[in-house]
Amino acid sequence: MTADSALTSLGLEIDPTVDASVSATLAVVEDALRDNVASADPLVAEAARHLMDAGGKRFRPLIVALGAQFGDPARPEIVPAALVVELTHLATLYHDDVMDEAAVRRGAPSANARWGNSVAILVGDYLFARAADIAATLGPEAVRLQAQTFSRLVHGQIAETAGPRGSDAISHYLHVIAEKTASLIATSARFGGLFSGATPEHVEALAGYGETIGIAFQLSDDLLDIASESVQSGKTPGTDLREGVPTLPVLYALAGDDTDASAVRLRELLASGPLVDDALHAEALGLLRESRAMKRARETVRTYAEDARARLAPLPDGSPRRAMESLCDFIADRTS
């Protein structure tokens, strides 16, 4: 899902007027991103453009543009609102790669691998500052909402770093996703409604939709890392498994009590930590793809997607609402 792709290119049945409006907004956002990561310092400018030039889904600006359909999507505040959330997202990626000691991001060397941790951290800080600067042009409410979202992002990263600390691993994992991913997508939907002039009731409904579709979106990305035979997820299939990252299917498998040979063998492999051995990695990936844990994880994604659909109930029936419902279907079905 790139910035210049229409929603219909995803196979969604979208009203052409809504599709054209969203696509036009995303095209302007893409151009504006380049202007807003510029810096007088050539190193900062190059490093800040690095991840943006590598592409990405632009899912958060998409949600802003969809949310704006419930007001006036042509309002001049919509593009700056989309820039705030996407720059905030990009900033978190620089910091995440340092935390994870990642070597690759979006198929290219990560910023920390290319310029070192200090530069990557500071470029992330620079992008946060750019997002805050744009938020200030939208008024105090935008600044407050961005600050609250940033607080949730930080809490989510701390929770992920600290680990479950005695709490249920699955509940902890879902909490981390809500804080680290869904919080910013909820703000994206809220910004779309708020700055298009939607009613307060509709803005709250959009925020609730964004929170739940955000969880479904991240979970589906995690499942694609296992289910996809290609780089559909934006990384080599099985990367999380190779690095020992415990995503939802892995956690379900580890918590399972199935006694059949494949489930027992899968638990043995997953409990051993990062699967760097190619043969063991391939064995675990094959078993996980066919496991009850994977089926349960898909059902969890669908549950969140259906919850997101239910959050749209207060919104008027029409093409914009149907577009957001179609996105629920897309996210629920993309890992099948």
Q: What is the pLDDT of residue 2?
A: 43
Assess whether 153 and 77 both reside in one domain. Answer: yes
Examine the domain organization and report whether 64 and 165 are in the same domain. Answer: yes
Cα distance between residue 153 and residue 207, in whole Å: 16
Residue 211 inside a domain? The answer is: yes
Domain stops at, among 172, 188, 217: 172
pLDDT at 237: 76
- Domain of 22, CATH number, reads 1.10.600.10
Q: Within this chain, do residues 154 and 220 fall inside the same structural domain, yes or no?
A: no
Domain carrying residue 43: 12-172
- In this prediction, residue 155 carries a pLDDT of 96
Q: What is the dihedral of CA 7, 54, 188, 135, to 10 degrees?
A: -140
Are both 83 and 163 inside the same structural domain? Answer: yes
Residue 6 covered by a domain: no
List the structure tokens of 249.
């299917």
3-state secondary structure the chain: CCCCCCHHHHCCCCCHHHHHHHHHHHHHHHHHHHHHCCCCCHHHHHHHHHHHHCCCCCHHHHHHHHHHHHCCCCCCCHHHHHHHHHHHHHHHHHHHHHHHCCCEECCEECHHHHHCHHHHHHHHHHHHHHHHHHHHHHCHHHHHHHHHHHHHHHHHHHHHHHCCCCCCHHHHHHHHHHHHHHHHHHHHHHHHHHHHCCCHHHHHHHHHHHHHHHHHHHHHHHHHHHHCCCCCCCCCCCHHHHHCCCCHHHHHHHHCCCCCHHHHHHHHHHHCCCCCCHHHHHHHHHHHHCCHHHHHHHHHHHHHHHHHHHHCCCCCCCHHHHHHHHHHHHHHHCCC
Torsion sign across C-alpha atoms 319, 30, 335, 249: negative
Average pLDDT for runs of 10 along the chain of length 336: 54 86 95 86 84 82 97 98 96 84 72 82 92 97 97 95 90 97 98 98 98 97 85 66 90 93 95 91 95 97 98 97 95 87
Calculate the CA 265 to chain-centre distance: 32
Name the burial class of residue 152, with classes exposed (0-12), middle (13-18) and buried (19+) by CB atoms within 10 angstroms of its CB. middle
Token digits of residue 126: 């620079």
Give a yes or no: residue 47 inside a domain: yes
Instruction: Say if 335 falls within a structural domain.
Output: no
Tokens 């820039």, located at residue: 83
Beta-carbon-side half-sphere exposure of residue 143 (alpha carbons within 13 Å): 9
The answer on 138 and 23 residing in a single domain is yes
In the numeric block, the tokens 């600390």 are attached to 165
Q: Is the domain of 128 the same as that of 60?
A: yes
Asked if residue 92 is part of any domain, the answer here is yes
Q: Are residues 22 and 138 in the same domain?
A: yes
Please indicate, yes or no, whether residues 111 and 205 belong to a single structural domain of this protein: no
Please list the residues that pair with 104 across neighbouring strands: 109
Give the pair of three-digit tokens for residue 122: 């500071």
Give the position of tokens 């919080």: 183
Residue 168 sits in the same domain as residue 264: no
What local confidence, expressed as pLDDT, does residue 235 receive? 59
In a domain, 234, yes or no: yes
The per-residue pLDDT for 116 is 83
* 156 is a domain residue: yes
User: Tokens 């996210």 label which residue?
Assistant: 331
State the pTM of this model.
Answer: 0.93
- The tally of domains found in the chain comes to 2
Residues 242 and 141 in one domain: no
Q: Are residues 126 and 252 in the same domain?
A: no
Kindly state whether residues 295 and 166 are assigned to the same domain: no
Domain membership flag for residue 150:
yes
Q: Given this model, what pLDDT does residue 5 score?
A: 46
